[in-house]
Chain A
Amino acid sequence: MDLRNRRARGPAPSLLAAALAATLLVAGCSPVQPRQAVEDRPDVTDVLADGAELQQGGELAMGLSAEPDVLDPTTSSSLYTRYVMNTICEKLYDIDADNEIVPQLAADLPTVRRGGREVEIPLRDGIRFADGEDFDAAAVQQTLERHLTKDDSARSGEMGPVTDISTPDDRTVVLSYDEPFAPITASLADRAGMIMSPAALDELGDDFGQSPVCVGPFTFVERVPQTSITVEKDPLYYDADEVMLDEITYRIITDANIRAANLRAGEVQVIDTVSPQDISYLRRDDSLGTLQVGSLGYQGVTFNLGNTDGVGQPPGEIDTPLAQDPRLRQAFELSIDREALVNSVFNNEATPACSAISPDTPYATDASNACPEHDPEESLRLLEEAGVETPVEIEMTVSNTPDTLRLAQALQAMVREGGFDIEIAPVEYSTLLDQQDRGDFEALQLGWSGRIDPHGNLFGFVVSEQPDNVAGYSDPQVDELMTRAAQEEGTARRARTYGEAIDVLREDLPIVYLYRVTSLTAYSREVTNISTYADGVVRLGRAAYLADPDDVADAAGEGE
């Protein structure tokens, strides 16, 4: 006992002493290091072999950032499920690096007739499912009908108001509509376009997701809950000779920095959703490469304008200046410096967003790309004009993930100058969804993963009484324009109509768009032929190990 005082000066107190010494040295040692200038990085969507020799065979592990939900194209609602489905379930259509829709299992883009009320899809020939079944019009019809009729289908909305699905011959499928539905092609380039084996559907029914069978370079082997999903090469695949790997294991690793550590340790060869904080660190590693591509989705702040009785219900009256007077919301937008936000919170690995339409898609117009400059003084002027006292207090509900909380705190600090005082209300994700549905919020930080067709990014969110119209926004002109845009033919015409709607939305601002995340993928340079496009999905169907170690070295040499 008497001698115990010695051990009290263990590691912790000595560290404390160091910390205290440090605080006393307010004079300090090193000068302040200002933020480094940021560089703009162009999208890098693929890493390709470029003629280098590939190794036949091999097993690849990918670190997946979230656990997929059920592996059933009809009922799946997790975006991460698409990462796995990408190698086992091909779609009628796909998107390419330029966000154009291209045929995959379909032979060509659809032919549209009767003013858009009939959509004819030609199918490719000579394709077999992983279980040996023929891929034909009947199979496509069975899948699409399942999307429409299965009671827990998450696809029925994406399919639009289909009245009939017919098969004039075994290589043609025709969808009939009462009203034209232009976004259907884009839907078929997503999960709705994944065609399931009829035999497997008949056998497994609701349990299809336990052992999915489709057309794809790989076929499902096993799933270990919370741990991994394994797929192996499908010898029946139509392009089987282009598939190099024997097996891919998707390992679920939810923490970003642990995913990165695993990549560096060589335990996995590819990881998705690299944290913007880790990416510069990974870029410095010569044995690793990175892909980056802007996403189609957005993050923004949604204001509650009339969501009093629950989302999808007729809007009610909310008696606050923020909900009543668009000038307040305009002022809010003016007080946000999107560049600085993206720069500080995301290390510049994101792009400012000012509308729901990504500038990288064919639907972008001057109207959708326009962006108000950061102008806190104008914000204060608008607030004065509106006759409200500053600072205007806003309670902003956010989810409690570290990234979102950092964003919220940056936003909070930023809008102060423009006359706003944000109170952050962090809740966990399920509660957030609940509050959003019930309309129990003043402002909400929300994001949307994004769809290739603008319809999927706008219609449900801003048209009166739609299921995702969390703001409770309602404007007859926007309703009319949105409905028209979904029925018109031709990209340019539709883009123009969406632009008109966006002009109206920009005045009313039910949603202030903030930024678009950049999908960051990192890979080991031992592997190649990996792509990721704006839908964020990492495509591993043709991935391969480089056969020659020298090529690996060359690939590393190409790095920064």
Chain B
Amino acid sequence: MTSTPVDPPVGGPPPPPETPKDGASGLGSRRGRVVRELVRNPLGLVGGGLLLLVVLVALLAPLITGYSPTQVDFDLPFQKPLTVGYPLGTDDLGRDVWSRIAYGARASLVVGLIAVGLAVAVGTPLGLAAGWWGWLDALVSRLTDLMLAFPFLVLAVGLAAINGASLTGAAVALGISQVPTMVRVVRAETIRVKELEFVTAARSLDASAPRILVQHVLPNTASTIIVQATVIMPVAVIGEAILSFLGLGIQPPTPSLGIMLSDAQQYIFRAPSAAIFPGVAIAVICLGFNLFGDALRDALDPTSRR
């Protein structure tokens, strides 16, 4: 089951690569090959370029915008795009839409990173443990079942009710929703790697389980985790938009792409353009991650190429 938070925007976890990989020793040469593959893939380059662009805009937001994203000008609401000084126009409170998008991209990336971090930090150890120790597997599986079955929005609203709407709150809710898929993906990888020769060898040498897991199994699941992270990023970015749309996202006046969309819907007949730009920005971010993630998956696992 894919655990998409609210819509099913992505095709679920990528199938774990089927090719048997070498032990940790093979990593160095593989890394070189992966980079070469990535560079040779035009789609990956486009994706990477989009991501680079988004990251630059987010990082350099103060330098490339003319106004603070929260600067209200009561005299200049609803300026049309391509107005002097306001390339994308202004919103209902006379704030610069371009500036809000640049800073909103920042918020989206932060939410995505926190969500990915949480999913990795919680999902990886659980997945490793469940894959390694059979007796834990049943327990962890029931837990992930529960998390997948539990309606995500009820959880998100609950968290927002307890902590109030905030960037971290939204990111945590999204991260939690992504834990189960991460667990499953890592678990499946662990089960596969566990049977590989070098691992069985390490076991016969009486190495302790945690040591084997960290030294041998984890490095071999790394590529799966990275690919899964590129899947989670766009899910989290869209998830933030949805939560903000429902009033559970980021605390105003901090701009976020979701809040901008939710605001714009209030005056959509009056200023349709205000609803277009943030949506395009979200699409660009997600497209970047999807393209790059696809290319990365292809590069990491040549047999999955189509």
Residues in chain A within 8 A of chain B (CB atoms): 1-2, 4-5, 8, 12-13, 15-16, 19, 22-35, 256-257, 260, 275, 277-278, 280-281, 340, 343-345, 400-403, 405-406, 408-410, 412-414, 424-428, 430-431
Contacts and interface: CB of A to CB of B under 8 A. Distances in A.
A343 B73 CA distance: 12
A410 B82 contact: no
B273 to A, nearest CB: 11
B155 interface: no
B247 A281 contact: no
A277 B86 CA distance: 22
Given A340-B74, A402-B263, A28 B84 contact: yes
B269 A257 contact: yes
A16 B93 CA distance: 24
A34 B259 CA distance: 25
Interface of B: 41-43, 46-47, 50, 64, 66, 70-72, 74-88, 92-94, 98, 157, 160-161, 164-165, 247-248, 251-253, 259, 262-263, 265-270, 277, 280-281, 283-284, 287, 291, 305-306
B266 A257 contact: yes
A277 B92 CA distance: 9
A35 B77 contact: yes
Contact of B84 (A22, A32, A277, A344): A32
Query: Interface residues of A: mostly helix, strand, loop or mixed?
Result: helix
A33 B66 contact: no
Contacts of B269: 257, 260, 277-278, 281
A414 B94 CA distance: 13
A8 B247 contact: no
A345 B252 CA distance: 15
Given A256-B266, A409-B252, A410-B72, A428 B82 contact: no
15 contacts: A1-B41, A1-B305, A8-B46, A13-B287, A25-B87, A31-B84, A34-B76, A277-B266, A280-B270, A402-B262, A406-B263, A406-B266, A409-B70, A413-B74, A428-B248
A32 B305 contact: no
B283 A27 contact: no
B277 A19 contact: yes
A541 to B, nearest CB: 31
A426 B252 contact: yes
Contacts of A345: 92-93
A16 B126 CA distance: 40
Contacts of B265: 257, 402
Contact of A277 (B74, B252, B270, B281): B270
A428 B158 CA distance: 10
A424 B42 CA distance: 45
A30 B83 contact: yes
Contact of A431 (B46, B84, B161): B161
A256 B270 CA distance: 13
Given A12-B283, A409-B72, A413-B70, 14 more contacts: A12-B280, A13-B284, A26-B85, A32-B86, A33-B76, A257-B265, A260-B269, A275-B266, A344-B94, A412-B253, A424-B253, A425-B164, A428-B157, A428-B161
Contacts of A22: 81-82, 87-88, 98
A225 to B, nearest CB: 19
A427 B164 CA distance: 5
A59 B8 CA distance: 41
Contacts of A431: 161, 164
A34 B75 contact: yes
Contacts of B306: 1
A428 B80 CA distance: 33
A92 B72 CA distance: 49
Contacts of B85: 26, 28, 32
B203 to A, nearest CB: 40
B93 A408 contact: no
B272 to A, nearest CB: 11
A33 B160 contact: no
Nearest to B90: A32
A8 B291 contact: yes
B82 A402 contact: no
A257 B81 contact: no
A430 B161 contact: yes
B165 A427 contact: yes
Contacts of A4: 42-43
B121 to A, nearest CB: 28
A19 B280 contact: yes
Nearest to B163: A427
Given A344-B93, A409-B252, A402 B247 contact: yes
A23 to B, nearest CB: 4
A12 B80 CA distance: 21
A28 B87 contact: yes
Contacts of B251: 424-426
Nearest to A11: B283
Contacts of B262: 402
A34 B47 CA distance: 40
B82 to A, nearest CB: 4
Contacts of B43: 4-5, 8
B72 A405 contact: no
A390 B43 CA distance: 54
A469 B243 CA distance: 33
A278 to B, nearest CB: 6
A96 to B, nearest CB: 33
Nearest to B271: A277
Nearest to A261: B269
Contacts of A30: 80, 82-84
Counting chain B CB atoms within 10 Å of each CB, which of A2, A408, A427 scores highest?
A427
A351 B268 CA distance: 24
Contact of B87 (A26, A35, A277, A413): A26
Contact of B266 (A403, A409, A410): A403
B283 A406 contact: no
A26 B88 CA distance: 10
A402 B160 contact: no
A51 B174 CA distance: 61
Contact of B50 (A13, A32, A410): A13
B93 A406 contact: yes
A93 B53 CA distance: 66
Counting chain A CB atoms within 10 Å of each CB, which of B70, B71, B79, B305 scores highest?
B79
A261 to B, nearest CB: 8
Counting chain B CB atoms within 10 Å of each CB, which of A345, A400, A401 scores highest?
A400
Contacts of A410: 72, 74, 93
A475 B75 CA distance: 41
A414 B73 CA distance: 10
Top-3 shortest CB links A-B? A413-B72, A400-B247, A5-B42
Nearest to A404: B247
Contacts of A15: 280, 283
Given A4-B42, A22-B88, A26-B87, A35 B270 contact: no
A344 B93 CA distance: 7
B66 A26 contact: yes
Contacts of A400: 160, 165, 247-248
A405 B252 contact: yes
B79 A33 contact: yes
